[in-house]
Structure 1
Amino acid sequence: MSASNYVATGSARCEIEIKKSRFIAYAYAAKTREQALEILASVRTRYPDARHHCWAYALGGINSPMSAAMNDDGEPSGTAGKPILNVLQHKGISNVMVVVVRYFGGVKLGAGGLVRAYSQAAEAVMQKLPNEIHVASSRWQLNFDFALEQPLRHFLSAHEGEILAIDYNTQVTASLALPEKHSQALLGFCAQYQLSVENLS
């Protein structure tokens, strides 16, 4: 699966009605399978009497392999989870969990009708979901003397980088995340100060 261009950053809800069936769609930012399944559990708790809680997620992105899963939750195979996942993949958004709750209205939609309904519900909620460009970043480990911590922090603030972890021992060891477009600038910084640097990406 190709890397996504966008990642979810918030949540959204919408509801549509098709032939008396209610489709209530939720989209949430989720970075791990565990987070996605917690979201599913929360939505199930909110609508315990609904007949179906169908879902799909797409996780990962540029720096990690994409993983995806889906579930029809009692709907005919391929009529709910797959259409939801297709919308996520078409939108190119990852780190997202979508759950569509269905209350059956007494009128059967047929397989084609279900595919269209779940696609429409997923499309509607994804249009509301906040997201942002997924910037490719690289991870680095640096070892340096205490006196160089401030110059390093200044460099990172000027180059959209951040310190992920820092350990103070005889020397300082720091793990960094930095947009890939600034990798050469970091290597230049390390050469200037003669720092030990390792690319962890």
Structure 2
Amino acid sequence: MNDKPYLIPAQMAVYQEEIKKSLFITQLSHTASIDEAKAFIDTVRQQHNEAGHNCWGFVAGRPENSMLWGFSDDREPSGTAGKPILSQLSGSGVGEICAVVTRYSGGVKLGTGGLVKAYGGGVQQALKLLQTIEKKITTKLRLQLDYAFMPIAQALMTQFSVLEVSANYGESIDLILEIERRQLEDFSLAVINKSGAKAMITPLEDNKNN
């Protein structure tokens, strides 16, 4: 299980160019799953339903997870559109991203090499316009502690950038926290050491964001 953060799109990016009378429109979007990628592809198809081709590729998870990759030539000659699109995406280091390249043909044939260059090049240029943010891989845990330990626990939560999800104040304090998964072990050890092993930590089910 990879706990390392990775980049995802912060917003859409669009690039268009005309090549030998054909108009190529490249749209990049954040899609966190295969279903989201397919929904984005369908949306672009509806926007450009008069276009001859809406070719696409996606990386629907971590950048290196090829099990979540997909592509389509959408009636262009095999290997001239989908693969060049996916090649640019998979080499970008950005995850959870989908690209749809729409082509309005101008009647002039580009040839196999021209199509590969046009589709791959459009995505390459769109990636230069793309703004990204870092996605941290988090998990949740339960922290049960006495009131006397709360100030120290709050200091540790600040130190490890822990987010308080919920809190229940009864005879003792019962917190649900969210933390970067790679920080979990160090935070747990710090809590146990600082509390003299009186605070209780219980890891909860990991978020499905890896």
Q: Is TM-score (shorter-chain normalized) higher than 0.5?
A: yes
How far did 1:74 drift?
A: 1.0
After superposition, residues 44-123 of structure 1 pair within 5 angstroms as: 44-61=45-62, 67-123=68-124
Which of 192, 197, 201 aligns to 2:201? It is 197
Which residue identity does 1:144 align to in structure 2? Q
Q: What SS is found at the alignment partner of 1:86?
A: helix
Distance of 1:115 and 1:63 partners within structure 2: 23
Q: Which amino acid aligns with 1:188?
A: A
Whole-Å separation in 2 of the counterparts to 1:133 and 1:56: 21
Which structure has the highest strand share of the two?
1
Distance (Å, rounded) in 2 between the aligned partners of 1:76 and 1:56: 15
8 Å Cα contact 1:4/1:62 also seen in 2: no
Taking structure 1 as the reference length, the TM-score comes to 0.82
Give the drift of 1:8. 1.7
Listed one character per residue, the Cα deviations across residues 24-77 of structure 1 (whole Å, up to 9, x for unaligned) are 000011111122122112211211101111111112228988611111111111
The 10-residue stretch of structure 1 (65-74 or 106-115) with the greater mean CA deviation from structure 2: 65-74
The residue number in structure 2 matching 1:144 is 144
Q: 1:177 aligns with which of 176, 179, 191?
A: 179
Give the distance between the partners of 1:179 and 1:63, measured in 2 at CA. 19
C-alpha separation between the residues in 1 aligned to 2:191 and 2:65? 27
Matched residue of 1:93: which SS?
coil
Say which is worse superposed, 92-101 or 34-43, in terms of deviation. 34-43
- Distance in 1 (CA, whole Å) between partners of 2:145 and 2:138 is 23
Q: 1:88 to 1:63 in 2, by over 3 A?
A: closer
Runs of 5+ consecutive residues of structure 1 not aligned to the other structure:
none
Mapped contact 2:188–2:201 kept (Cα < 8 A): no
AA of the residue aligned to 2:129: K
Partners of 2:183 and 2:174 in 1: CA distance: 25
Equivalent-residue separation in structure 2 for 1:65 and 1:55 (angstroms): 16
Q: State the alpha-carbon separation in 1 of the partners of residues 29 and 116 from structure 2.
A: 21
Structure 2 residue matching 1:60: 3-state secondary structure:
coil
**Alignment-mate amino acid for residue 100 of structure 1:** V
Aligned length: 197
1:14 and 1:76 map into 2 onto residues whose CA distance is 23
Secondary structure of 1:144's counterpart equals: strand
User: Mean Cα displacement is larger for which, 36-45 or 61-70?
Assistant: 61-70
Q: Which residue of 1 aligns with 2:10?
A: 9
Q: Is the 8 A contact 1:56 1:97 kept in 2?
A: yes
Matched, 1:29 2:30: yes
CA gap 1:21/1:65 in 2 versus in 1, 3 angstroms: closer
Q: Any idea what SS the aligned residue of 2:8 has?
A: strand
Which whole-Å CA distance do the structure 2 matches of 1:63 and 1:120 have between them? 21
1:98 deviation in Å? 0.8
Structure 2 CA distance, aligned partners of 1:54 and 1:47?
Answer: 11
In structure 1, how many angstroms separate the alpha carbons of the residues matched to 2:66 and 2:112?
32
